[in-house]
A and B are shown apart, each in its own frame.
Chain A
Amino acid sequence: MFLFTYKSTRVVIFIAMILGFTQVLAMDDERPLTFDEVILMVEKDLPAMISNDNTELVSKMLRARLGSPISKRINIAGSLKSIFGRRRPVLDPNCLRTFTPSGDPAPDECTASSGSPAGQGAYTEFRWSKNLQFGNVKFLRRDADGTVDPGKLPPIKMSDEQAHKVAVDFLSKTMGISPDEIPVAPENARNPFPVRTLAIGEMGPKGEKNIVPIAKVVDINRGLLVGLKDVAGRDIPYLPAPGRAKVVVTDSRILQANVQGWVELELSPKVDPKNAKTREELVKEIAESIMRKEPTNISKISLIPAFNSMKFVGTASTVVPVGLLLPAIQMVVSVVPRDLQEAEQNLVGPNSAGYSEWFSLIDLLEENETDDDE
C-alpha cells in the first residue's frame, strides 16, 4: 500500500513538473495573444462583485471614510522640534515659493536640515510638500561615516508588531497621517503587519557568510474604510487609495519615514454613481489596454476595486489643490508565473516585467488625467 502511494505521488509530481515546465517554456512563445483570448482572461479575473450594474458598488465606495488630511493634522513646528530637538535646522530659502511661475501650486517640497548632505558627517533632513495637499512628507537621517563597526552590527530584535506600532505612532504624530487611513487587519488575518526585515549580508572569498537583520521596514498602503463584501460573503473592510508610507525602524530609533503621494482627497461632482461602467464595458476597456502592450504571454491578472485620484485642481486664484476621489479598478499584470525554480528561470522569454494600470469605474463627464497610467 505504501509502495503504491509512494509511486502514485511520484507520478503526480512528475506530471506536475511537466505541466509546469510546459507553462514556462510557453513563455518563449512569441505568438501574440488574440483579443478574444485576452477578453477571456479578463472576464475570468475581474471579480464577480463587478456586475453589469455597479451603481450600488460605486455609491458605497463614495461613502468611504476619509481621515483628516495632512494639511490639517501636521504641526510643522512640532515635527521639526521632535526631529531636530534643540538644534535649529536650516530652512531652504525656496520654501517661500509656494507657486510655480505659471501660478499653479508648487508640487515640490520645503527642506529643513541639519548638517551637510555632502561630505562624511552626520545629516538629518525633514521635507514636506509646500502645498501639503500633494501629500509628501519625508524624514531621513544618517550617521557620520565610520560610526558603525560592521563586526558589531546589532541584529534587530523588535517584532513586526512592535515595529508597526512605532511606525503608526510616528506617522500619526510627526508626519500628519490620519490613523483612520491606515488599514487595521481583522483578527483572523494571517499577515496583519506589512513589515519586512532589511538585512546586510557579508560574503568573502573563502565562503564567509554573515547575515545580519538590521532594521524593520514598515510599508503601509493607504486604505479607506468602505465595509464591502465580495459575492462569497468575505469582508473587504478597506480598499487601497493613493498614498504610501514607509518607515525604517531599529530597536533604538526611527531612521527614515517617507510619506509619498498621500494626496488630499475630496468627492467630485463629476463622479456620479449613475455613470458607473458596466462589467461588459470594463472587460472590453481592460482587454483593449492589454492588447496595446502587444502581449505574447500573461500568467496572472490581478484586478482589485481601489481608489485612484484625478489630477489636482486649483490655481493661484482657487489656492487649494486637491485630488478628486475616483472609484477605480487597479490592474496588475504578471507575465512570469510565481516562484520559479532556478532551472526554470533560465527559460523565461523576452517578457518579464509586470505592470500596473488603473481603470475608472465611472464614465467621467470629461476627460481627466488620472494617476498611475502605464
Chain B
Amino acid sequence: MRVRFSHSHCFIHLFTCLTILFSMFLSPAYSMEVKAFAIGDFVPTASGGCGGGDRTTWPVMVDAWYDHMAIHGHSKDGQYTDGNMTIRRFCDPDTINGCLDHLFVDEADASMIATHGADSGDHWRGTMRSSYAGHCRLDAGGTAQEMFTGDVDLEFLHLSSCNSADDDNLSPGNKGPREALTDPVDGGYAHLWTGFHGVMYIGGSFVNDYKDFAHDAHSVGIAYAWATNHLRTNSVNCAAYDPFNWFGTCQDICPVSVSQGQSASRAWVGIQYERYNNVYSDPTGNGYWYWMGYLGCDSVGETGFNP
C-alpha cells in the first residue's frame, strides 16, 4: 500500500517509519495493514474505570471485519480488545504527553474503533475503558484537540460507535470528522471516515454485516459498502403489534460515510471509487467533502438525518 509520512514525524518516530517502509516493500501491492480496537467489557466508575454497560458481542462484530480483511490478503496488524484501552492509542503526541497514535490507530492503513459514543457539540467522543491523563473520553473531529490522524499512515477510519457521524457535524461551517483526519502540526490527510448518525446497536445478527462490509468494500466503494451493509430500517424499538413499522413505531440504524479532499473532485473520488484494493493518493487538503447517507433516516437518539 502507498504510504505517506512527514519528515518531522519520521525523525521523532524513526522506528515506526522504518517499520512502515519495511512492510511496504515486503507486502504485496494490494495489501493493507489493518487494526481493530474494541471494548466489550466496560469498567464501572466505581471500580476506577470510565463506566459503560457491557456489550460482549461488540468485539465479535469487529472481529468479523478484521478476519475477513485477512481473507482478502491484508495484514492483521493488531487486534486490541478490552485491556488497557485508553486515549493513548488514539491521541496524537502533539496534543497530550504520552499519546501513541503513531503506534496504534494511525499506524494502520485501515482501523476500526468500537466503543460507546456520543455527540459532543461539533464532534464525536468515545468512551474509553480507563482514564489517561484525566481523560475518560476520546474527543475526535470538530474543535476537539486529541485525535489527529493521517500524518503517519491511516487512510480509512471506521467508527462502530453511536453518534460517530451525526448530521450536524457534516454541515457547511462544521468541519466535523474531517478535523480528525488530518494533523495540524505534521500535516497529512486520511481519506475516509465511516460512522453512524445517532445510536447504533450490538448483537449477533450484526456480525455478518461487518463481514459483508469487508467483502463488498473490495468490489464497490468503501463508502457505499458501509452505507448499504450497516443500514437497518425499522429494526429497533418496534412495538409488539408493529414489528414491521407499518404504524410508525420502529426506528432505524443509520450508517454514514464521509470523504475529504483539497478539491471537490478528490473528495468525490473518495466517496465514490476508493476501495481497499483501489486506493488513490492522499488528499492534500480537506476544504471539500462528500457524505453518503440516508435522507430522513430515523435513528434513536437523533432527529432524522438532514445534514
Contacts and interface: CB of A to CB of B under 8 A. Distances in A.
Interface of A: 30, 32, 47, 49, 117-120, 123, 125, 138, 140, 142, 145-146, 148, 150, 183, 185-186, 189-192, 194-205, 207-209, 211, 213, 217, 219, 221, 223, 230, 232, 234, 236, 238-240, 246, 248, 256, 258, 260-261, 292-297, 300, 302-306, 332, 334-342, 345-346, 348-357, 371-374
Given A189-B246, A350-B127, 12 more contacts: A47-B241, A198-B292, A199-B294, A219-B231, A240-B243, A260-B212, A293-B55, A336-B301, A350-B116, A350-B136, A352-B162, A356-B204
Contacts of A230: 240-241
A357 B203 CA distance: 6
A355 B227 contact: no
B244 A238 contact: yes
B203 A355 contact: yes
B298 to A, nearest CB: 8
Given A198-B292, A345-B163, A336 B233 contact: no
Contacts of B212: 138, 258, 260
Interface stretch (B93-101, B183-191, B267-275): B267-275
A337 B301 contact: yes
Instruction: Rank and list the top 8 A-B pairs by shortest CB-CB distance, nearest first.
Output: A356-B203, A189-B246, A47-B240, A350-B51, A336-B301, A352-B162, A372-B204, A350-B52
Contact of A203 (B200, B219, B290): B290
A123 B228 contact: no
Contacts of B265: 150
A127 to B, nearest CB: 9
Interface string B78-97: 00000000000000000000
Nearest to B199: A336
A199 B293 contact: yes
A329 to B, nearest CB: 9
A306 B117 CA distance: 29
A256 B224 CA distance: 11
A342 B119 contact: yes
A346 B172 contact: no
Nearest to A223: B244
Contacts of B51: 30, 296, 349-351
Contact of A352 (B204, B227, B301): B301
B30 interface: yes
Interface in B245-282: 245-248, 251-252, 264-265, 267-269, 271-273, 277-278
Contact of B292 (A117, A200, A356): A200
